[in-house]
Amino acid sequence: MNDRKEQLAALRAAAMRERDPTASDDVLAVLLNEVRERPAARILEIGAGRGLTSVALLLHSAAHAVGIERDPQRCIAARANFCAFDLNDRATLFEGEAAEILPMLEGPFDIIFLDAAKVQYRRFLPECRRLLAVGGVLFADDVLLFADGVPPKRKMLARHIEEFLEDLFADGGFSAQILRVGKGLAVARRIGDVDA
Ligand SMILES: C[S@@+](CC[C@H](N)C(=O)[O-])C[C@H]1O[C@@H](n2cnc3c(N)ncnc32)[C@H](O)[C@@H]1O
C-alpha cells in the first residue's frame, strides 16, 4: 500500500507541476475522510481529469468509480492510471461531455465529486440530485474561486457559481455547507426526497 501511496503522490505532484489540475491535498483529505467514515459502493467523478482522485478513493475503499472526462488526452492518462493501479475492474470511464453522459447514468451513487467546468455546475445539479443516494454526498470543488474578488473578465463565471450555490442551498433535498479547503468545497448531503 505504501508503494501505491508513493506512486500516487508522484503522479499527483507531476499533474500539479504540469498545471493539469487535480484536487488539492486538503480537498482530497475531505473526500478520503468520507470514504473512511461511510463505506461507499459507488462513486461518480464529473470531470475526472487523469483519474487521480478516483484512484485515491478506490485505494481507500472497496467502491466502484465512474468517471466522466471530455478531454481525450486526459482520458488516455486516466485509463493508464487505472491500469497502473490494477483498478480496471473497479473503474469505468466515460469519454465525452458530462451534459450528454449524465442523463444516461443510473444511480444511486454514494459520492459525487463535481469537478468539471464551473460554468456548468448549476446545469448538472439536478442530475447530481437524481443520481445521489439518500445519505450520499455531493462534493463540488472550487466554489469559492472568487472569494477574494472577481476579475472583470470572470464576472459571468462568478455569477454561475453563485447561482449554483443559491440552488444548492435552496434545495430541501440537501443539507449543504462550504468548507474552506482548496478553493472552496461545497459538501451537500442528500437528506431525502423532498422536492426543491
Ligand atoms: C479540475 S480538472 C479535474 C481534476 C480531477 N477531478 C482530479 O481531481 O484529479 C477538470 C476536468 O474536467 C473536465 N471537464 C470540464 N468540463 C467537462 C464537461 N462538461 N464534461 C466532461 N468533462 C469536463 C476537464 O477536461 C478537466 O479534465
For 169, the grid coordinates are 442551498
Q: Which residues contact 61 (CB under 8 A, 6 or more apart)?
A: 35, 36, 39, 40, 43
Instruction: Give the pLDDT of the chain (196 residues) as one tens digit per residue.
Output: 679 999 999 999 999 999 998 999 999 999 999 999 999 999 999 999 999 999 999 999 999 999 999 999 999 999 999 999 999 999 999 999 999 999 999 999 999 999 999 999 999 999 999 999 999 999 999 999 998 898 999 999 999 999 999 999 999 999 999 999 999 999 999 998 655 4
CB-ligand 1 contact for 23 (6 Å cutoff): yes
Domains of the chain by residue range: 2-190
97, 70 Cβ separation under 8 angstroms: yes
Mutate to test the pocket of ligand 1, among 54, 70, 94 (most ligand atoms within 8 A of CB): 70
The pTM of the full predicted model, rounded to 2 decimals, is: 0.96
What's the distance, CA 171 to chain centroid?
19
Please give the DSSP secondary-structure letter assigned to residue 183.
Answer: T
CATH value of 2-190 in 1.10.540.10, 3.40.50.150, 2.60.40.1930, 3.40.50.2030: 3.40.50.150
CB-ligand 1 contact for 47 (6 Å cutoff): yes
CB-ligand 1 contact for 81 (6 Å cutoff): no
Q: Which residues contact 7 (CB under 8 A, 6 or more apart)?
A: 84, 85
